[in-house]
Amino acid sequence: MLKSKTFVKKTRSGRVMKIVREHYLRDDIWCGSEACDECKQESTVLQQEACIESNLCSYPHYLIPDTNVVLHQIDVLGDPVIRNVIILQTVLQEVRHRSAPVYKRLKDIMHEKEKHFYTFTNEHHRETFIEREPGESANDRNDRAIRVAARWYSQHLKTPKSSTDGLKVVLLTNDQGNKQKAEDSGLLVYKCEEYIKSLIANPDLMDRLALSSDDKNEITSSKVLFPEHLPLSRIQTGIKSGSFLQGTFRASRDNYLEATVFVQGEGEDSTEVLIQGLQDLNRAVHQDVVAVQLLPRNQWVAPSSVVLQDEGTAKDDDIEEEEEEKVLRISAHEAARKPTGKVVGIIKRNWRPFCGMLNVSQIKESTRHLFTPADRRIPRIRIETRQASTLAGQRIMVAIDGWPKDSRYPNGHFVRSLGSAGEKDTEEEVLLLEHDVPHQAFSQAVLSFLPKMPWAITPEDMVRREDLRHLTVCSVDPPGCTDIDDALHCRDLENGNLEVGVHIADVSHFIRPGNALDKEAASRGTTVYLCGKRIDMVPELLSSNLCSLRSNVERLTFSCIWEMNHKAEILKTRFTKSVINSKASLTYAEAQMRIDDATKNDSITKSLRGLNKLAKILKRQRIEKGALTLSSMEVRFHMDSETHDPIDLQTKELMETNSMVEEFMLLANISVAQKIYDEFAECALLRKHPPPPPSNYDILLKAAKSKDVEIHTDSAKALADSLDVARVDGFPYFNTLLRILATRCMMQAVYFCSGMDSDFHHYGLASPIYTHFTSPIRRYADIIVHRLLAAAIGADSTYPDLMDKHKQSALCINLNYRHKMAQYAQRASVSFHTQLFFKNRGIVNEEGFVLFVRKNAIIVLIPKFGLEGTVFFDTKDKTAPNLVFDEEGPTLNVEQHTFHIFDKVKVTISLDDSNIQHQKIRMALIDPVIPGVSVPAPDIEPQAKKPKLD
């Protein structure tokens, strides 16, 4: 049966268009219940024995939640107890439009077979489709559609042909009007909370209930603490007229009464508005999109240097002005003041479930407790739970439900427990969740697109490929690497030149555009490497097997092959899809030993020597052009084979072979970038590294000046050259320290689409154009680059999204976000394992260098461990020494001693685990000896003699 839907739509130019859409109604949409004999369905989802212990519904029943129940109670619906649920098409469509995260979670739940969630296409069923009546709102029409579908199910399951035997349908809604209408038409209907309370065998489900707006009023006091948020219409008018600014709210990690709102201007311009004090922060949470109003200039303030954590017992809801707020109001001289404002409304909440720990209430029998998030930028959250004694000492997840204007804290609900705090698995899970790293197992839908095993290269695969199996190709990687992306070869040509090839795993052969596997890889964006664990971007069958260029197996590759002369000048470049058979999978150390061993003259070693020779020339040429050689501390943990706890911690050593591989990867990336840009000027996916603003270099210049060394920063080449000659007699580590500081001054490199930007330059590499081509197993950007290159050489066809610069640009935003979060997660993992290491080691004495000087502390780098820590001079338990900070130096005078950047010090290192959620590495000064400040060196069991640091 064909119906037509008519609606009007406003175009960009302001004209009104009438749109008529055909809408098909069908008779062959089945109910999905195994209790039904009437529907001619091949498979069913809803069980006949749909039993759940409830003192409201003692009979078998199916649940039909309305849209608001799904939107607000997704944590309850996701619980294993809740099964046999009918999700109506009306509800699914509304959820999709209103909340992408909830829609994704609902889809994931629907894919779990044991949950028995069934989607019923009520909008296309002849008996459940309804037209919108004149004067009826879209919302009311949808509520009516849900009631009509619920009635149809009730009657359908009562038919003589159905062996349902008392099977009923229960509608769940929190809308009083909808509930009343459903009851009037004879439907079985309950409020979500009523129904969950009735599940006698599962009382803990009550904790997962999100508070409804009626409940929120009960929990708070009558006193209004915060200004009312303005409605969206007022906010939009204010933004248009310029009286309000729209920006992203960024809470401070160190001071819970302070935040900045980042306002994006035209092009690259952006401003930051400072917000101070509870009233002006006005219930905004980190990462919310807010509207701010600037205060008059005479009320502008300077950022506070006070560290304030919201700790201890719950603050009262009716305190006038906090004592702590008064601490903020320090008089600042005019220059330090920043544009200051107040939050007047929330445009978009960016709440997610937060990890943290419960502060159990001191009041006996209380069910209301405060939850402290692991992320210090998130406020504490008030939740109701009856299992506080069980949850104490555990890491848990909590979601915010709302923040009424008369409550000091937001209200939320318990989502799930993650395990005991401090345990390795629990902390790893927290780390992944807090950095938004997708780490769930790959779904069946994704795995279904993997090749069937056993897999082999077919004659069809060979048609468009060059057969390079005869070449002496080998790979060089870190020890234990199983996801081998790249392999190399070098051989002499008859004309006296050299042929060099970089062969990259052909991942895009296995991952086709737009399928579930491709979408999952695009969403993950990158593989995340934690200490002792890898979270793959693509399933293991590809990452460690079919795409991994292991030795002595045939693998599909994408090759970049150059003809070079002995001066490493490129004479010809070609790209081809190929097949290789790697002759050896070597570690950096093994490759280095082959190169250095004069007795070895086999073809693999000759190839490596040729590559190494050219790489040295390429590196010299790159550095002459102004490429930077920076330094950052990378550490390697040695794990206990049984407990997997770190037993040793060392900084990684880099060899010549590391540099050899890097040079050819850089060259391949640059060659490919040029090729895809020449072919697709509008939609090439490239990578750029913006130059840092001059002010970023202040600390580097001051540090160098303190040792009478001059650094020039007007260009990358000037910086590289001056770093090369920066030396201090008797202080060989000085140059490395300077390069570590220079690294901190840099901007983040980012992916972008060539059609949306005009500045392609890569500052650090001193290259006019750059991309990522060489690691498609672990980076999604490289897969897109492979597809572009394949299209450019006619080895594969394009597809619309690949040629759409707006889609490419949106993809780049996600990739940049995922890469940044992966980096933070990796650092957090190193930090956690460092804490474990010192927990097992006790107190350690080490030599280090002052990296930064602060008002009340010095930040010390311990080269042996690649570890940074802070030595505070104004601890709570001691009388503060006489401190004088000079910003110009920067220097810090502690009693009679002056600290400069790069001073050599000796410290004790230990783990402070007094706050289980925020454990810290503590450092205390041993040398120089400052009476009343430094500590005596503790006696430590003698260990093997360590090389002395200069």
**pLDDT tens digit sequence for 633-648:** 666 666 666 666 676 6
Q: 22 with 102, same domain? A: yes
CA 357 to chain centre: 21
pLDDT of residue 949: 37
The Cα-based distances of 684 to 230, 666, 782 in angstroms read: 43, 17, 12
Q: 115 with 66, same domain? A: yes
Please indicate, yes or no, whether the overall pTM of this predicted structure exceeds 0.85. Answer: no
**What Rg value do the Cα atoms of the chain yield, rounded?**
32
Final residue in a domain of this structure, among 333, 348, 363: 348
| CATH assignment at residue 40 | 3.40.50.1010
Residue 397 lies in a domain: yes
φ and ψ of 571, to 5 deg: -100, -35
Q: 524 with 413, same domain? A: no
**Predicted confidence (pLDDT) at residue 250 exceeds the cutoff of 90:** yes
Nearest of 338, 75, 335 to residue 192 by alpha carbon: 75
Domain that holds residue 336: 232-348
Q: 47 with 181, same domain? A: yes
| Percentage of the chain lying above the pLDDT 70 cut | 89
Q: Which residue has the tokens 């081509």?
A: 773
Q: Would you say 386 and 206 are in contact if contact means Cβ atoms under 8 Å apart?
A: yes
pLDDT of residue 108: 87
Residue 764 lies in a domain: no
Q: 388 with 467, same domain? A: no
Q: What's the CA gap between 852 and 641, in Å, rounded?
A: 37
**Predicted confidence (pLDDT) at residue 162 exceeds the cutoff of 70:** no
Residue 313 lies in a domain: yes
Q: pLDDT digits over 529-569, tens only?
A: 998 889 999 999 999 999 999 999 999 999 999 999 999 99
**Predicted confidence (pLDDT) at residue 327 exceeds the cutoff of 60:** no
**Predicted confidence (pLDDT) at residue 879 exceeds the cutoff of 60:** yes
**Predicted confidence (pLDDT) at residue 652 exceeds the cutoff of 90:** no
Q: 669 with 573, same domain? A: yes
Contacts of 494 (CB under 8 A, 6+ apart): none
Provide the token pair at 569: 């000048």
**Average pLDDT rounded to a whole number, residues 328-341:** 67
pLDDT of residue 707: 84
Nearest of 624, 483, 477 to residue 546 by alpha carbon: 483
**Predicted confidence (pLDDT) at residue 727 exceeds the cutoff of 90:** no
Taking each helix axis from N to C end, the angle separating 734-744 and 716-724, rounded to the nearest 10 degrees, works out to 160
Q: What's the CA gap between 220 and 234, in Å, rounded?
A: 27
**Average pLDDT rounded to a whole number, residues 189-210:** 85
Q: Would you say 854 and 935 are in contact if contact means Cβ atoms under 8 Å apart?
A: no
Provide the token pair at 12: 């960009």
pLDDT of residue 943: 46
| CATH assignment at residue 920 | 2.40.50.140
**Average pLDDT rounded to a whole number, residues 596-614:** 93
Final residue in a domain of this structure, among 348, 363, 379: 348
**Average pLDDT rounded to a whole number, residues 241-254:** 90
Name the band, by pLDDT with cuts 50, 70 and 90, for residue 165: low
Residue 944 lies in a domain: yes
Listed range (153-157, 744-748, 776-780, 853-857) with the worst mean pLDDT: 853-857
Listed range (165-174, 604-613, 787-796, 808-817) with the worst mean pLDDT: 165-174
**Predicted confidence (pLDDT) at residue 8 exceeds the cutoff of 70:** no
Q: pLDDT digits over 813-865, tens only?
A: 999 999 999 999 998 898 888 888 888 888 888 899 988 888 888 889 888 88
- Dihedral-angle region of residue 766 (phi above 0 means left; psi in -120 to 50 means alpha; beta otherwise): left
| CATH assignment at residue 426 | 2.40.50.700
Q: 180 with 73, same domain? A: yes
What type of residue is 380? R
Q: 408 with 472, same domain? A: no
Name the band, by pLDDT with cuts 50, 70 and 90, for residue 2: low
pLDDT of residue 334: 56
Final residue in a domain of this structure, among 673, 701, 723: 673
Average pLDDT, the chain: 86
Q: pLDDT digits over 887-935, tens only?
A: 887 888 888 899 988 888 999 998 887 777 778 888 888 988 888 888 8
Q: 323 with 239, same domain? A: yes
Provide the token pair at 677: 């840009």
Nearest of 781, 333, 737 to residue 770 by alpha carbon: 781
Name the band, by pLDDT with cuts 50, 70 and 90, for residue 405: confident
Residue 907 lies in a domain: yes
Q: What's the CA gap between 891 and 853, in Å, rounded?
A: 6
Residue 720 lies in a domain: no
Q: What's the CA gap between 209 and 99, in Å, rounded?
A: 18
pLDDT of residue 24: 82
pLDDT of residue 5: 62
Q: 137 with 245, same domain? A: no
pLDDT of residue 638: 67
pLDDT of residue 215: 47
Provide the token pair at 942: 């003698």
Listed range (39-53, 143-157, 217-231, 802-816) with the worst mean pLDDT: 217-231
pLDDT of residue 481: 87
Q: 114 with 37, same domain? A: yes
| CATH assignment at residue 331 | 2.40.50.690
Listed range (311-325, 483-497, 729-743, 852-866) with the worst mean pLDDT: 311-325
Residue 778 lies in a domain: no
Domain count, the chain: 5
Name the band, by pLDDT with cuts 50, 70 and 90, for residue 751: very high
What does the DSSP assignment read for 124-193? Answer: GBTTT--PPPTT--HHHHHHHHHHHHHHHHHHHTTSTT---SS-EEEEE---HHHHHHHHHTT-EEE-HH
Q: 175 with 98, same domain? A: yes
Residue 752 lies in a domain: no
Q: What's the CA gap between 767 and 607, in Å, rounded?
A: 27
**Predicted confidence (pLDDT) at residue 777 exceeds the cutoff of 80:** yes
Q: pLDDT digits over 447-495, tens only?
A: 999 999 999 999 988 988 999 999 999 999 988 888 999 999 999 999 9
